[in-house]
Amino acid sequence: MAHLAPLISDLALILMCAGVMTLLFKKLKQPLVLGYIVAGFLAGPHFGLIPSVSDAANIQVWSDIGVIFLLFALGLEFSFKKLMKAGGSAVMAACIIILCMIAVGVFVGNLFGWKQMDCLFLGGMLAMSSTTIIYKAFDDLGLQKQRFTGLVLSILILEDILAIVLMVVLSTLTVSKNFEGGELVNSIMKLVFFLILWFVVGIFLVPLLLKRIRKLMSDETLLIVALAFCFGMVVLAAKVGFSPAFGAFIMGSILAETVESEHIGNLVSPVKDLFGAIFFVSVGMMVDFAMIAEYIVPIVVIVVAILLGQVIFGTGGVLLSGQSLKTSMQCGFSLTQIGEFAFIIASLGVSLHVTSEFLYPIVVAVSVITTFLTPYMIRLSVPAYNWVDRILPVRWHNRLEHYAAAVQTVSPENNWKKLITSVIRVMLIYLVLSIAGILVCFQFILPVLDTLFGGFWGRFAGVIVTLAVISPFLRALIMKKNHSLEFRTLWADSRFNHAPLVALVLFRVVVAIVFVMYIIGHLFQTSAALLVGIAILLVVSMVFSRFLKKRSIELERTFVQNLRSKDMQEEYLGGKKPAYAGQLLDRDLHLADYKISSDSAWGGKTLRELDFGKRFGVHVVSIIRGHHRVNIPGGDACVFPEDTVQVIGTDVQLNDFSEQMKIVDKACIDDNFEKHEMVLKQIILREGSSFVGKTIKECGIRNHFHCLVVGIGAMDDTVLRSPDVNKPLQEKDILWVVGEEKDLSVLTGQ
């Protein structure tokens, strides 16, 4: 009998248990994650009624791959632009909830005398609510369209992002064994540096590469290329000291900004489901009911801490962000569970060997309990609000309303704030790119040049190459935003603004000079005065260089175009309104999309024939047909069924247009379908028939009688030949004709 590797037999056992449990939990309308955990318990070493997994080490490797795929898929669904649109309410609420729940976890751990790392990891696990479980609960309860659910989902997006940051910080603290503030600041600065670097370089390079090879891409090759990007970033993240899951998330978020993101997500989904299932099954394998019974008191206390903590701090965080008391309580009651990220953080602690063995099964038990309680907590939010509203003093109620109104009132940003914010963002990006350019040149290019030229000339070539690499970034660091609307407005508003504006520009010049001085001073020993003089000359030449100006503009334009490519594609295909649509509102005009139905009488007609402008006062700006778009169509452009037309007009004009479209659609519906039945009939051409001696075309059988000759036979022949429209018909020919009954009656009457 052939030998079967333990990994294959273990995988068979895992998938069989997972298959049975997922079907059962699907039938019970419970989250599949819980089914995977139960399957893991059945296949694990703590359940003796069926065979258990024999090689847990290999399963752990597959589990680690599952975490990578889960985070990669999460990144594909994430968007930095979506994060910016989440709003201040979600950001403030998420930060307050996470910080407070970490504190709750640390307090509970210290209450039981657990070691410091157990307390920290417990706090991280308690801070992260489950996106999957909450989304499913909202779907089951039919709450997706309510206002508070959108805010909850925004908070969950931010929690997922902050969970990645938390994992990086925990990993760094674990490795360094140092809890000093300086070490934490260094870790955060390192994280910010690589986040900016990877995002900027990734958005610049990855879409360009995908665009170049798009014609070569099939589903198979796109999947392989996407996974190559993913695991390449996983290795790179591990090399610089971050967790592999962090690298997977970063690459997913970069690919999320490409036009292929949705396609990649669909291709990766089955792979993610497989390895994700193995990960959650491996979580269940660590469940030990004997240990759970031993730690039943901490489990109950942690469950209570989550329920009370999320209700209090979740409600308080959303309330402080400016939402009403009812919305805040609905959000707080919805977040009372832990899920996927709790398991991921727990597995991180296990892999780093810094958490105790009892912590993992405790967290799994807490997750199961809080997951089952989630729908009931969501339902309880409104009765709880009604009770609080009854007992809350009127004075407090009024203060909450006034506070919410004050926070929601958005004050316009002044030009100084806009300018300073823009300059900081620009400097941060180009400083990171300049530092990365210097590191790459010194680490990889300089040794090669030193080997080729050696001594002075090698170092001189190193300076030239390094300055050439970072000079576009240094010029952009100095000049960007110096001609912006805010800068020009502030300059024109008051002469007292001139000095601080000039100082702002000079500060950026000094930063660029310091970079040049560092590069030269690192490779050559020279006097400070000479070093400063050379650096100033080089920076001035960068500022006035037309080549560098053109190059920096091209780089930025490519980056912005890559960043906007997904939005531009959605706009092109009609998935979102173009940017100018918002500007039309100031003129009481609107851009609306209308789909030409398959029943519409307008289908097949030109815009000149339809004359929408004269009839309704509206104007067609675009016709979207499948994956093709016609902008500013001319009068000869046709409108076909299933086309989407984008129309500009006032509310009244668009309403008239919409009503007429409905009338046209209904007018074309013919309920007398019995009269339009097609039949086949034989017509014998006898002596004296007007068709004898004429061709089928000359007879006008198709154009005048709306019938079709499908075959011609003879009385003495059983063979039916295909009709030749240019051959004259003869006496005694038998025409096989298809048409409606009324048209055939007219034809035979000839």
Question: Per 3-state DSSP, what percentage of the chain is helix, strand, and coil (rounded to 5)?
Answer: 70, 5, 25
Facing residues of 711 across strands? 736
In the chain, which residues have pLDDT < 70?
Answer: 1-4, 79-88, 136, 139-140, 144-145, 175-184, 406-413, 572, 574-575, 579-588, 666-674, 716-718, 750
Residues found in the chain: 750
Facing residues of 736 across strands? 682, 711
Residues 6+ apart with CB under 8 A from 270: none
CB-CB contact of 605 with 639 (8 Å):
yes
* CA–CA distance, 361 with 285 (Å, rounded to integer): 9
Angular region, 342: left φ>0, alpha ψ -120 to 50, beta rest: alpha
* CA–CA distance, 679 with 41 (Å, rounded to integer): 68
Among 357, 285, 310, 246, which Cα is nearest to 60's? 285
Q: What is the pLDDT of residues 373-410, one digit of tens each?
A: 888 888 888 888 889 888 888 888 788 777 777 666 54
Among 143, 163, 142, 140, which Cα is nearest to 151's? 143
**Angle of helix 261-285 versus helix 219-239 axis, rounded to 10:** 60
* CA–CA distance, 345 with 152 (Å, rounded to integer): 22
Provide φ and ψ at 712, rounded to 5°. Answer: -130, 130
* CA–CA distance, 307 with 298 (Å, rounded to integer): 14
* CA–CA distance, 406 with 89 (Å, rounded to integer): 13
CB-CB contact of 264 with 214 (8 Å):
no
Q: Which CA distances in Å does 482 have to 418, 503, 515? A: 13, 12, 20
Q: Which CA distances in Å does 736 have to 368, 692, 713, 717, 718? A: 74, 15, 8, 14, 13
Angle at 448 between CA 443 and CA 452, to 5 degrees: 155
Provide φ and ψ at 393, rounded to 5°. Answer: -60, 145
Residue 507 structure tokens:
């500060």
Residue found by looking up tokens 């298809």 in the block = 738
Q: What is the pLDDT of residues 570-624, one digit of tens each?
A: 776 766 777 666 666 555 677 888 888 887 888 888 888 888 888 888 888 888 8
Residue type, 566: K
CB-CB contact of 714 with 734 (8 Å):
yes
Helices (H), 86-218: 87-111, 116-126, 131-141, 147-176, 181-212
Residue 408 structure tokens:
């929601």
* CA–CA distance, 614 with 607 (Å, rounded to integer): 11
* CA–CA distance, 174 with 408 (Å, rounded to integer): 41
Characterize 467-495 residue by residue with b for buried, 16 or more Cβ atoms within 10 angstroms of its Cβ, and e for exposed: bebbbbbbbbbbbbbeeeebbeebeeeee
Among 245, 244, 263, which Cα is nearest to 71's? 245
DSSP class of residue 548 equals H
Angular region, 676: left φ>0, alpha ψ -120 to 50, beta rest: alpha
At residue 249, the 3 state secondary structure works out as helix
Query: What is the pLDDT, as a whole number, of residue 409?
Result: 57
For every residue of 467-527, DSSP letters joined together read: HHHHHHHHHHHHHTTTTSHHHHHHHHH-GGGHHHHHHHHHHHHHHHHHHHHHHHHHH----
* CA–CA distance, 118 with 122 (Å, rounded to integer): 6
Residue type, 148: F
Residue found by looking up tokens 């038990």 in the block = 365
Radius of gyration, alpha carbons of the chain:
35
Query: What is the pLDDT, as a whole number, of residue 403?
Result: 76
- Environment class of residue 333 by beta-carbon count within 10 Å: exposed (0-12), middle (13-18) or buried (19+)? buried
Among 291, 31, 281, which Cα is nearest to 299's? 291
* CA–CA distance, 510 with 322 (Å, rounded to integer): 42
Angular region, 574: left φ>0, alpha ψ -120 to 50, beta rest: left
DSSP class of residue 676 equals G
* CA–CA distance, 328 with 313 (Å, rounded to integer): 10
* CA–CA distance, 699 with 691 (Å, rounded to integer): 6
Among 609, 743, 722, which Cα is nearest to 678's? 743
* CA–CA distance, 658 with 163 (Å, rounded to integer): 48
Query: What is the pLDDT, as a whole number, of residue 1?
Result: 40
Residue 99 structure tokens:
């910080």
CB-CB contact of 347 with 283 (8 Å):
yes
Query: What is the pLDDT, as a whole number, of residue 177?
Result: 57
What is the rounded end-to-end Cα distance, in angstroms, of the chain? Answer: 84
Residue 646 structure tokens:
């984008």
CB-CB contact of 607 with 634 (8 Å):
yes
Strands of the sheet containing 644-649, edge to edge, are: 590-595, 644-649, 619-625, 628-631
Facing residues of 639 across strands? 605
Query: What is the pLDDT, as a whole number, of residue 508?
Result: 92
Q: How many Cα neighbours within 13 Å face the side chain of 144?
A: 5
Residue found by looking up tokens 């190559």 in the block = 228
Residues of the chain above pLDDT 90, percent: 9
Residue found by looking up tokens 């350019």 in the block = 437
Query: CA torsion, points 396, 398, 401, 402, in degrees to nearest 10?
Result: -110
**Cβ atoms within 10 Å of 326's Cβ, excluding its own:** 17
Q: Which CA distances in Å does 554 have to 18, 524, 548? A: 52, 33, 10
Residue 5 structure tokens:
């590797």
Among 473, 426, 468, 422, which Cα is nearest to 449's? 468
Characterize 200-214 residue by residue with b for buried, 16 or more Cβ atoms within 10 angstroms of its Cβ, and e for exposed: bebbbebbeebeeee
Residue type, 489: T
Residue type, 587: R
* CA–CA distance, 592 with 324 (Å, rounded to integer): 33
